[in-house]
A and B are shown apart, each in its own frame.
Chain A
Amino acid sequence: MTGVAVIGGGPAGYVVAIRAAQLGAKVTLIEEKRVGGVCLNCGCLPTKFLLHSVGLYHEIQTGAQYGIDAPGASLDFAALMAGKQRTVAKLVAGVEGLLEANGVTVRRGRARLVSPTQIEVSSGEAKETIPADRVILATGARAVRLPVPGAGSPAVLDYEGLLSLDHVPKSAVIVGGGVVGVEMATVLNRLGCKVTIIEMLPHILPAQDAEVVAVLDSALRRDGVDVFCRARVERIGEDPAGKVVTFTLADQAKEVKAEIVAVCVGQQPNAEGLGLEPLGVTVEKGRVRVNERLETGVPLVYAAGDVTGGMMRAHVAFAHGKAAAENAMGGGSAVDLETVPQCIYTAPEVASVGLTEEAAVAGGFAVSVGRFPFAANAMADVLGESRGLVKIVTETKYNRILGVHIVGPLASALIAEAVLAMKMELTPAEIAATVHAHPTLSEALWEASLDITGEAIHYVSRRRRARG
């Protein structure tokens, strides 16, 4: 029986463990804290819980157009956080149950590789070396610290700190307008906190399509969030009233004061302290280098998920974990990351797959774009959320879909059709030839496909108008 040791019990690690066990391995999973990783404990899921709560609260508050009048509605923050904790606990228990049912042994402790087949597990003072036929590194990532004065202070929060607040702050500065930054800004803003986002790059959600982001940017501003882009944080200080963030905007020094400051500027792989370099595992820019089969280059040692850098998403970690386990057990699986969707649960939501229009043009493609605004979609009107659009980026020669970008209601659910279309290499013609139910939000993708040729039904495209 092949003995597989998995270091780390997050989305990559627990999937590796379950998959390897399914394939007949004797699996030991070593986790320092709790299984489920950042995603379950202090990332994706607790954030979604909070976002759902504030979204619901917002709907009740703005329910007048649906005849709902609930003057006594209030949000009990302590109850919300307790509810979030219950859900997290339930999900963690679920993963623990799955591991147990698959016969995976979970060991508490910190792991270090002594050799490719020996792992030292330390828990407090106790140390033990366990053997393994295969090792899979799935140690995840942690929040990056901002290299400016004052950022190291314990009073400066990261996403973990934001998810453990004991009260709603009156005001907050969020440094970093990435996924975590805008999602937490949405939560805090709807809880009544005055939020300021400071982003160094030209726009928030730098990896997303500029046109889509512009919709979210104006939605955030209209909801009262201050957004500064192309702004560099110089230092984080304190005064009696709270925190002071000093930043440079267009060569002007500016400062903003707030009760709390959180830094959400990205994730740093956990590749240190594992004893990797002496074994010959390549660690580049802090991440473990792997090939598409998740092999590290050192025989019998694999790595999966955030520790490999790249696209740090739980669903990428799942795909990595499955492939790494299969390869460790003698298979030949590779991961295809070209059609990995990204979902951002703001108001409105943002979701995308593939290349942005800018990236497609930069990549040398002759690009055609089809758009459809939710303002012209009947279901979006019914739902009272008609901000946003669906945007399809194709290359003109073969009509290959290079990317699909959605900002609008339930974008996170709508993107699935686009992901499948891209994975199956469909062209907009096939989407256009597919009947989409009415009234649904999914019609927007259908109409955007038609718009590639200026033939959307419920929308007069710029192209057609220009033609006269």
Chain B
Amino acid sequence: MAVPVTVAKVGWGTEPISLVEWKGSEGDRVQQAGTVLVITTGKIESEVEAAASGYLHIVVPAGEKAEIGSTVGMIAESPEELATLQKEAPPRPAATTGAAAAPVSAAPAPAPTGAPAATETGRTLISPVARKMAEENRIDITTVTGTGPGGRIVREDIEKAIAARASGKAAAPGPAATFQGKKVKSALPLRGMRGAIAENMQRSLATSAQLTLMGEIDAAELVKLRETLVSQESRLGVRVTYTDIFVFVVARLLHDHPLVNSSIAGSEIKLWEDVNIGVAVALEDGLIVPVVRDADKKSVVEISQTVKTLADKARTGKLVPDDVAGGTFTITNLGALGGGYRFETVIINPPESAILGTGGISDRVVARGGQVVIRPVLTYYFTYDHRVITGSVAASFIGALTRVIENPYLLIDWQKAAL
């Protein structure tokens, strides 16, 4: 009996899920518990495992959306069963919308992936014979340029793609291909996480009025605090990082700077009661922002544990949609990437209204009490949406932040420190 490939309910979300990539082509043999499909909520990618070994029959092609719980493919026990499935529900080529764009194989592809993506019009014009040939020969039709009327892909185009592949050249722009007169080394599909980053960042800058406040904070006491906490690692059970401390401090300050913890929704600014702080985590091929929920109610140890768990999940691709949802403010600690004395204009993670970037802590020559001294200095960059936050609100928030970082002992009564 064939078993279905189902888009499982992940987390609390009920939004349709996009199919990013089938890890095999129609008819390919798949192994039980092997990854058969990559799906995305738009924020994070997740893998779907095969429930059984067998032959893959794709019902919903990559690039399309599917309802949670729906069957998007089947795994047939035998080639005969596969043939029956194909007859009952012929494999559909990709169509429609989505973040998916034409995948372009970077290397000479012995068998391009069976993940044809959407065209702008939502339809790939292709003759029935060409479609059949493309399917049988596993030619990704989205990489084929049609030469028929209106750019329709015809038999000859697929024949050329097959011949090109046979002669060792990818039909798609390969290593030697040029695009707009420049040589292309490789091309990365702008979909899944990459697509989400691109879309979010573009949307952020296009839809809000961002400006960045930058400065430096004397970090001598912060360094002492962190060193003390690290020395107590065995007692605390975690190795507290600067990031953890920033989350802890900012979570507490946000209560008294409600506009910094808000979002524009329609004609209103929603001031959030919840303080959910997103922590940017760099990945090999991108960036993800898991969220520490109720950070204002968590101890620094709890925050530290939460951040570690989320970062590990992010790096192993195990995040579920809820892990990245619901943020009200974001911290990105570029100091963790080994940054020194530098500044950058970080971009707000919409629909939040502000983001705090922190740089590295480095020794700088500064004036203190009329003397030239060397002090450890932390740089910060605070980008805020001027539609929501005025300069004085930003200055007030940064003033409180500076006070607490320079004198962490104030955290004994942070509500006073915040004012």
Contact = CB atoms under 8 A, between A and B. Distances in A.
Nearest to A428: B128
A398 B136 contact: yes
B154 A425 contact: yes
B136 A397 contact: yes
Contact of A427 (B129, B136, B154): B129
B136 A425 contact: no
Contacts of B154: 425
Nearest to A398: B132
Contacts of B133: 398
Contacts of B130: 425
Contacts of A112: none
A358 interface: no
A426 B128 contact: yes
Contacts of A397: 136
A424 interface: yes
A400 interface: yes
25 contacts: A398-B129, A398-B132, A398-B133, A398-B136, A399-B129, A399-B132, A400-B129, A400-B132, A400-B155, A401-B129, A424-B127, A425-B127, A425-B128, A425-B129, A425-B130, A425-B154, A425-B155, A426-B127, A426-B128, A426-B129, A427-B128, A427-B129, A427-B132, A429-B128, A430-B128
Nearest to B128: A427
Contacts of B127: 424-426
* Highest count of chain A CB atoms <10 Å: which of B129, B130, B132, B155: B129
Given A399-B132, A400-B132, A426-B128, 4 more contacts: A399-B128, A400-B155, A426-B127, A427-B129
A32 to B, nearest CB: 39
A344 to B, nearest CB: 27
Contacts of A426: 127-129
Contacts of B129: 398-401, 425-427
A433 to B, nearest CB: 10
Q: Which 3 A-B pairs have the closest CB atoms?
A: A425-B127, A425-B129, A398-B132
Contacts of B155: 400, 425
Interface in A419-449: 424-427, 429-430
Interface residues of A, number: 11
A33 to B, nearest CB: 38
Nearest to A395: B129
A41 to B, nearest CB: 35
The interface size bin for chain B is: under 10
Contacts, number: 27
B131 to A, nearest CB: 9
B404 to A, nearest CB: 71
A217 B128 CA distance: 36
A397 B155 CA distance: 13
Query: Chain A binding site: helix, strand, loop or mixed by DSSP?
Result: loop
Nearest to B132: A398
Nearest to A429: B128
Interface of B: 127-130, 132-133, 136, 154-155
B153 to A, nearest CB: 10
Nearest to A425: B127
A299 B155 CA distance: 32
Contacts of B128: 399, 425-427, 429-430
Nearest to B130: A425
A400 B131 CA distance: 11
B343 to A, nearest CB: 57
Interface in A367-395: none
Contacts of B132: 398-400, 427
Nearest to A400: B129
Instruction: Identify which of A398, A399, A425, A426 gathers the most chain B CB atoms within 10 Å of its CB.
Output: A425
A399 B130 CA distance: 10
A169 to B, nearest CB: 50
B159 to A, nearest CB: 11
A166 B8 CA distance: 87
B89 to A, nearest CB: 15
Most buried by A among B132, B136, B154, B155: B132
B135 to A, nearest CB: 9
A333 to B, nearest CB: 13
Interface in A157-214: none
Contacts of A427: 128-129, 132
Q: Which of A397, A399, A424, A429 has the most CB of B within 10 A?
A: A424
Contacts of A398: 129, 132-133, 136
B199 to A, nearest CB: 37
A397 B154 CA distance: 16
Contacts of A425: 127-130, 154-155
A400 B133 CA distance: 9
B251 to A, nearest CB: 63
A426 B132 CA distance: 10
Interface centre among A397, A400, A401 (most CB of B within 10 A): A400
A425 to B, nearest CB: 3
A289 B155 CA distance: 27
A400 B132 CA distance: 9
Nearest to A401: B129
A51 to B, nearest CB: 35
A424 B146 CA distance: 13
Nearest to A427: B128
A401 B155 CA distance: 12
A397 B130 CA distance: 12
Contacts of A401: 129
B147 to A, nearest CB: 11
A282 B130 CA distance: 37
Contacts of A429: 128
A400 B158 CA distance: 13
A131 B289 CA distance: 77
B240 to A, nearest CB: 64
B328 to A, nearest CB: 55
A282 to B, nearest CB: 27
A332 to B, nearest CB: 12
A374 B130 CA distance: 31
Interface string A230-268: 000000000000000000000000000000000000000
A272 B129 CA distance: 44
Interface string A26-46: 000000000000000000000
A136 B136 CA distance: 45
Nearest to A424: B127
A399 B154 CA distance: 14
A397 B162 CA distance: 15
A420 to B, nearest CB: 12
B59 to A, nearest CB: 19
A363 to B, nearest CB: 15
A33 B241 CA distance: 100
A425 B155 CA distance: 7
Contacts of B136: 397-398
B157 to A, nearest CB: 11
Nearest to A426: B128
A436 B342 CA distance: 74
A188 to B, nearest CB: 43
Nearest to A394: B129
A233 B291 CA distance: 95
Contacts of A400: 129, 132, 155
Interface string A270-292: 00000000000000000000000
A397 B137 CA distance: 11
Interface in A400-419: 400-401
A155 to B, nearest CB: 51
Nearest to B134: A398
A401 B133 CA distance: 13
A427 B155 CA distance: 12
